[in-house]
Amino acid sequence: MSATVSLPTLVDFCDTRSRRREVRDFPGAENGLQFANRGTVKKIGATVDAGLVPFEEAARRGINFLVVHHGLFWNPQQPVTGAVYEKYRALIDHDIAVYSCHLPLDAHPEIGNNALLAARLNLSVEEWFLVHEGVPMAPLCRGGILRSDLAARLRTIFPRTFTAIEFGSERPSRIAILTGSGRSALPHLAAAGCDTLITGELRQEHFNFAQEHRLNLYPCGHYATEVFGVAALAREAAEKFGLEYEFIATGCPL
């Protein structure tokens, strides 16, 4: 018989490892178990977004516990019709539980998106900044490498989504990382002694901002920069309980 674990046991592990209760998220995030199953988990999966296509793919692969970064409840309450109904039906029909973890998997110093991307880039974290509800969200890393070398590393990790906006120093002394949406970091870079930001997405206006404030900005894709945390949490949970694990990629270019 293949290994299984009870849903409450698995949820408790994920809550503890992610420090979910310690990080207050944006309204509507509702981190934690968002959709239950019948109580037993046999295979764990991870994906960035709680969408119908990832749910259907989870069902095809036999996954019945799915860790997501962007959960089910960002929008105001919606009638359970159309696409909303189809998502819920897929979960119920295939006994899939959904566990969502947003800001806790950005801020986490070990399995968070920002920390894991810093490690992938071989950058040393000096300190954390951008405090949200008492918790620092983003690392400031030791620079000293050539801007061209940093860009090459990023292009290797994000070959489809890498973008470079380079008006800052050619050898930045500090490098900030804020995966996902990065515009909230921009007003705080100068005070942090930093002119270089690696992020997921920015707005068109930030090209002018980079010119005017002499910044290096590297938006590498909201989705692409947020695959790391959910994969790490789901993989650790699978290893802890001896379960199978798979990551469901959707190929989102944004």
Is the same domain home to 147 and 54?
Answer: no
pLDDT beyond 60 at 50: yes
Whole-number pLDDT of residue 188: 97
Is the same domain home to 39 and 110?
Answer: no
Going by C-alpha positions, the residue among 181, 198, 197 that lies closest to residue 132 is 181
- Bigger pLDDT: 78 or 125? 125
Q: What is the pTM of this model?
A: 0.95
Q: Is residue 253 part of a domain?
A: no
Query: How do residues 127-161 score in pLDDT, each as one tens digit?
Result: 999 999 999 999 999 999 999 999 999 999 999 99
Sign of the torsion angle spanned by Cα atoms 63, 161, 144, 196: negative
Q: Residue 201 and residue 209: Cα distance in Å, rounded? A: 14
Q: Report the pLDDT averaged over residues 118-122.
A: 98
Q: Residue 230 and residue 7: Cα distance in Å, rounded? A: 17
Q: Is residue 254 part of a domain?
A: no
Phi first, then psi, for residue 152 (nearest 5°) are -65, -40
Q: Report the pLDDT averaged over residues 178-196.
A: 96
Q: Is 43 exposed, middle or buried (0-12, 13-18, 19+ CB in 10 A)?
A: buried
Q: How confident is the model at residue 27 (pLDDT cuts 50, 70, 90)?
A: confident
Q: Is residue 58 part of a domain?
A: yes
Mean per-residue pLDDT of the chain = 96
Q: Residue 98 and residue 225: Cα distance in Å, rounded? A: 21
Q: Parallel, antiparallel, or unpaired: how do β-strands 125-132 and 97-100 relate?
A: unpaired
Query: How do residues 191-204 score in pLDDT, each as one tens digit?
Result: 999 999 999 999 99
Is the same domain home to 77 and 54?
Answer: yes
Residue 135's CATH number: 3.40.1390.30
**Number of domains observed in the structure of the chain:** 2
Domain that holds residue 75: 5-103+227-247
Is the same domain home to 12 and 58?
Answer: yes
Q: Report the pLDDT averaged over residues 203-217.
A: 97
DSSP characters for 41-74? ESEEEEEEE--HHHHHHHHHHT--EEEEEE-S-S
**pLDDT above 70: percentage of residues in the chain:** 100
Is the same domain home to 42 and 150?
Answer: no
**CB neighbour burial string for 154-165, b if at least 16 within 10 angstroms, e if fewer:** beebbeebbeeb
Whole-number pLDDT of residue 79: 87
pLDDT beyond 60 at 224: yes
Is the same domain home to 138 and 197?
Answer: yes
pLDDT beyond 60 at 1: no
